Amino acid sequence: MNRRQSDHLMMIIISLTILIIILTYFIEINSVVHGQGVITTKDNAQLISLSKGGTIQDIYVAEGDTVKKGELLAKVVNLDLQKEYQRYRTQKGYLDKDVNEISFILDKENESGLITLDGTRSLSNKEVKANIELVHSQIRAKELKKTSLDSEISGLQEKLSSKEKELALLAEEINILSPLVKKGIS
């Protein structure tokens, strides 16, 4: 390798080294550290740790500082917990809206507490609407079955009445024929 090539290679290495040093100054490197802390009070030492973990964003006291009860020691940020919290808040908003809609319809409809199918048209939650329609169809099916059973009971009562009349006629016939049978006429 000649002198010119080695100078050129050395220049590239030095340039890359300077570039890496500059980048490390501007780029924040995140690292995860697991650990526990100990808080020492006048009476005893207390072990502290975070159940969910997170990133310490700010530290408000230094080692050896005296703190009072309730004073913040550090601020811990957990993005997963924040996203989960936001998701639950959004879900709670939707559920509150559904509860308010159903309560409004129940108040508006009637004293029996039943929601009519006309009342479900204003619901935005399709699952609740489908459940109400399912209940209404089940109620209709039960009413049809009750009507069918009522007519069957009515038919059976008519048959029973007919059989009772037939039994009465047979009893009357027996009463008429029994003296004749006793006399030997058949």
- Tell which wins on pLDDT, 68 or 87: 87
| Residue 123: CA count within 13 A, CB half-sphere | 23
- Tell which wins on pLDDT, 15 or 103: 15
What's the pLDDT band for 119 if we cut at 50, 70, 90?
Answer: low
Q: Is the pLDDT of residue 77 over 80?
A: yes
With CA atoms as reference, report the closest residue to 82 among 62, 65, 57: 57
3-class SS at 38? strand
What's the pLDDT band for 5 if we cut at 50, 70, 90?
Answer: confident
Q: What is the pTM of this model?
A: 0.39
Q: With the C-alpha atoms ordered 11, 13, 19, 24, is the resulting torsion angle positive or negative?
A: negative
Q: What is the mean pLDDT of residues 14-38?
A: 78
Beta-carbon contacts of residue 121 (< 8 Å; ≥ 6 apart): none
pLDDT at 116: 61
Worst-scoring range by mean pLDDT, 66-70, 110-114, 175-179?
Answer: 110-114
CA distances from 53 to 73, 102, 119 (A): 16, 40, 48
C-alpha–C-alpha distance, residues 155 and 141, integer Å: 21
- Tell which wins on pLDDT, 35 or 58: 58
What's the pLDDT band for 45 if we cut at 50, 70, 90?
Answer: low
**pLDDT digits over 144-186, tens only?**
999 889 899 999 999 999 999 999 999 888 888 888 777 876 5
C-alpha–C-alpha distance, residues 174 and 168, integer Å: 10
CA angle 146, 151, 153 (to 5 degrees): 90
Task: Show me where the domains of the chain are located.
Answer: 85-159
C-alpha–C-alpha distance, residues 32 and 25, integer Å: 19
Task: Answer for the pair 175, 182: CB distance below 8 angstroms, yes or no.
Answer: no
| 30: its two tokens | 């995140």
Task: Answer for the pair 107, 92: CB distance below 8 angstroms, yes or no.
Answer: no
What's the pLDDT band for 120 if we cut at 50, 70, 90?
Answer: low
